[in-house]
Amino acid sequence: MFVRLSFVAALLIGLAFAPAKPRRVIFFGDSITQAGVKPGGYISRLTEMLGKQNKGADYELIGAGIGGNKVYDLFLRMDDDVLAKKPDLVFVYIGVNDVWHKRTHGTGTDPDKFLKFYEAIIRKLQAANAKVVLCTPAVIGEKTDFSNEQDGDLNQYSTMIRELAKRQNLPLCDLRQAFLDYNLKNNPENKASGILTTDRVHLNDTGNQFVADLMMKYL
């Protein structure tokens, strides 16, 4: 009788003191996300920010970005790079190359297929019980007068993502809108780069911090 009691007590004590399993968060994307795990990258910054809030042990942030990736590349490698890691939460941050490569390589993604693959990714993530945050592709050019060459197309794909989030009642991290709002305030000379990006697409220090701040709200 004594033994049994002490066993149950030990068990209860053990449960109480066991460190909670940290929340595993995967950032799934392209070269912007690949750079996010470097020092100063948006994922590294998120990790640091969580540390300063004494939440370092509560989260495990994993970068799963590969340069040049489009939506179908994510679908192809998601079993190995995402599902196998059993994430609790996945940020899907894709779309720049799907639009950009139309012009530079002739190998962008048609809008209807972009949507089809995006939906397939969400289905597989949800089937694996992962929460999903959708992100709009931020910029290909930071000019604020809508004269960046592929603004129209990037708006089209961002609108598709926004409508998809609404339709499926999923959280949306609207980077594109946030970048535009920021540039309208901070880019009075209508520059194509140098505000939040180094080269019209990839994030500079300010841009990495900006994205980290935006994404923090969804953790």
Which CB atom, from 110 or from 205, has the smaller least distance to its own copies?
110
One residue of 153, 165, 172, 211 binding its own copies per CB under 8 A: 153
Nearest to 88 by CA among 26, 46, 45, 173: 26
CB under 8 Å, gap of 24 or more: what pairs does 113-117 form? Answer: 113/71, 113/72, 114/71, 114/157, 114/160, 115/160, 115/164, 117/71, 117/72, 117/74, 117/75
* Whole-number Å distance between alpha carbons of 196 and 204: 6
Could you say which DSSP state residue 183 is in?
Answer: H
Minimum distance, C-beta of residue 102 to its own copies, in the bound complex (Å): 4
Which CB atom, from 7 or from 146, has the smaller least distance to its own copies?
146
- Residue 188 lies near its own copies (rule: CB under 8 A): no
One residue of 47, 148, 193, 206 binding its own copies per CB under 8 A: 148
- Residue 198 lies near its own copies (rule: CB under 8 A): no
- Whether 134 and 94 have beta carbons less than 8 Å apart is answered as no
Which CB atom, from 78 or from 89, has the smaller least distance to its own copies?
78
- Residue 24 lies near its own copies (rule: CB under 8 A): no
- Residue 141 lies near its own copies (rule: CB under 8 A): yes
Q: Which helix (H) or strand (E) holds 2?
A: helix 2-17
Nearest to 96 by CA among 197, 168, 19, 8: 197
String of contacts with its own copies for each residue 85-124, x by CB under 8 A: ----------------xxxxxxxxxx--x--xx--x----
Query: Which spans of this chain sit near its own copies (rule: CB under 8 A)?
Result: 72-73, 75-76, 101-110, 113, 116-117, 120, 141, 145-156, 159
